[in-house]
Structure 1
Amino acid sequence: MPYFYITGGDPILHPDFWRLLSLIKEHEIPFTILGNPFHLTDEVCRLLKSYGCQKYQLSLDGMRETHDWFRKPGSFDCTLEKIGCIKRAGIRSVIMTTVSGTNIKEIPFDAKQIEETVLQQILQAGLYAPSAGGRQGVILAVCQDKEINERLGKIKRANSNPRMATPTSYVSKEQPSIADDPKLVNAFYDAPTVITMFAPKNFLFASEDCAVTAENMMLAADSLGVGSCYIGQGWTAFADTYGQEILHKWGIRTDYYAVMQLLLGYPKPDGKHPTAKPRKNDRILRF
């Protein structure tokens, strides 16, 4: 079955654009648009959907200042806004990043995938983590599918909006999380390997078991030169129809839930190993 990719510039501005879509719809050909956000509205997106548009690709080439330098002032905020229009119309939004010397420092992980032998050592560390009662109830779902990880990361990010930080209540100003920085569009930070830890829904120490498992894997990863980051509230990545389809595809038991994710990837070539902050005083009480 044929599949079309329509690109620009902004193909919407072509005088024959809508006539072309009519012909595509007449022949029942699905298509993707590679465009820009500037002329998208809810009405335009609904119309695109009615003609058979399945995906709309936008570009984000760094954080606000960097992206707007690449494109034009206001482009970053406009792109984030129009992702909402695309989603509301039932079209899948796709983000492309052109990596260059200008924006490489704004990409958290190297795109290189972890070697399988290294990954197995990290997973073994997780399997040997202590667990309440020695139950070994944590399930590790390892995903290295870039498309799935990106989509689940965006779902998780979208579901974090109700819990965004405030000026007086936040996670960190030095290391902003998805709760702190609305400019972060992928809760998985483009990590090439994402491990979701599942545990029994009704087990009292499910979250504690997952936390210990994650810590074991993070220590092992660091010793092997692999960067890591754990993300809480893992269930939010699966809180829509696509997420539920992935759970079914992975064969996750219905009496288990996603507790957290562990992101793994090699640090950027020019990245520095994080150094420990000075320890705060008066955190140990002796009686």
Structure 2
Amino acid sequence: MARRRHRRTPRQPHTATVHGRAEFVVPTWRGIYNDAGPTTIEDSTISGNSTQGGDASALLQDHGRIELRHVTVAGNHGGSAAVSGTHIWRPDVRGSLFTGNAGADCDLRERPDSPDHVDEYNTSDDGTCGTATPAGQTDLQPLSDNETLTRSHALGEHSILRGAIPITHTLCDGTDQRGLSRHSTGAAYCDIGAHQSIPTLPRNVAAPVIPTFLAWGLTITADPGGWYAAGDVHYTYAWQRCTPAGPCTTIPNSDSPHYTGDVPDSEHHIRVMITATNGHGTSAPAYSNLTDEVAYG
């Protein structure tokens, strides 16, 4: 693979996948290498590359600034997956995913006085490129066409990275690797990594909340929390009365977002079950916190 030795900024457009490069000579790299000048990679996948004893298995930025936006770096072997080579430049890595790499996920060397952008909605198995997230919770799916010309890793249905970024953040602007608008799902959040998932079941990303104090005649109101779902979301409410030992039963005719404490609630805890239904008609429940033991009037 030829080394870049000029100052023009290499840019990887939305449909880039770098996969399956192998090398066994020291020192070396596999995936993407840039010798001088800044590198910007957006909405791209770097997966399944390997080097034995080399500097980097996925991305080596020898001199110059490295910028990554919504990049998935997965399953690379040898050295660190992503390396920036000097302390002169400031790495700028956001909304990116590093998982399943043999060796450290990142070795990003930066100026000591530079602002830190490596923790902005990034995740990696070992925490070297942002928040540490166990691979099992990432639930990354195998490299696949995903109905497009370039292969990508989708996030599984149970991935905690689905809907990790609020839709109002600038990282949710633009499109994913497939050219799918990150706003097109109608969800209130977008995903980390190159592939934007399309939600099926609504997924609760911030639990419903109710006040902890309740007494006879006092009315409290439920906050439905945050949901990752396609299209408009409709909520239904079912308030529940729970004994101190834990069993909860639904209170009849309690289908409002508001609840007023009553005599039978005394020495019990109250919670609410909220069921969210998305624009496709599929539903999922979530439960609020418990109130303190309900006080007498």
Normalising by the residue count of structure 1, what TM-score does the alignment of the two structures yield?
A: 0.27
Structure number with larger C-alpha Rg: 2
Higher relative contact order (CA 8 A, sep 6+): 1
Normalising by the residue count of structure 2, what TM-score does the alignment of the two structures yield?
A: 0.26
